[in-house]
Chains A and B, each alone.
Chain A
Amino acid sequence: GIQVEQSPPDLILQEGANSTLRCNFSDSVNNLQWFHQNPWGQLINLFYIPSGTKQNGRLSATTVATERYSLLYISSSQTTDSGVYFCAVAPRAGGTSYGKLTFGQGTILTVHP
């Protein structure tokens, strides 16, 4: 099956710093989503971005489908950004993914005040 690798595995920042999280995947995808899991376990959908660039406030994401990677940018980080960030994909070969996503291992982000 498709492989998803996220880096770095851990990231520690001071409030106000910027960061870039990376997601590499092993096959062509037609579905790529970024999620933030807060310390209480809630998974929040940040972006649906199988290709191109999107921005939402301090967060932005870029997926270069031809090179099989996606980047999540967090600017001016806040303590509330702490948690685990997951990239999840579905391979293009499978057609409609019907909600079946393969998740990476996540990046644990800690933002200190």
Chain B
Amino acid sequence: DAGVTQSPTHLIKTRGQHVTLRCSPISGHKSVSWYQQVLGQGPQFIFQYYEKEERGRGNFPDRFSARQFPNYSSELNVNALLLGDSALYLCASSFPAGTEVEKLFFGSGTQLSVL
């Protein structure tokens, strides 16, 4: 079975531009979470979607938005990019069932560089 897939793997943008990152969860998983990881730090929670509804939002500005589609894939959008948005963006999926209901499985990430 395929794991969590993210695209693109690398992206270079300039300040003020908009970016869309994509994530496909593990087959059968209905929950998708997004994290931002700045170099040298642990990942920081951005959004979580379950059954196409937003269930959690981290401390990020309104320039960040996301959505989940009927097939449970997800997009993360960032508007008006700033230099500080340069980071590794990670997507994680989980399958809320059984005893390990919230064990997260991460994709390889999208490395975003803002120039």
Q: Which of B's residues lie within 8 Å of A, judged by CB? A: 31-33, 41-45, 48, 50, 55-56, 58, 88, 90, 92, 94, 100-106, 108-109, 111
Bound CA–CA A45/B4 (angstroms): 13
B interface footprint on A3-41 (CB within 8 Å = 1, 0 otherwise): 010000000000000000000000000010101000011
B45 touches A43 (CB 8 A): no
A48 touches B103 (CB 8 A): yes
The secondary-structure label for the interface of chain B is strand
B55 touches A33 (CB 8 A): no
Q: A10 → chain B, closest Cβ, in Å?
A: 12
11 further interface pairs, Cβ-Cβ under 8 Å (given A4-B42, A86-B42, A99-B33): A33-B104, A35-B106, A41-B108, A43-B106, A48-B103, A98-B31, A99-B48, A99-B92, A102-B45, A105-B42, A106-B42
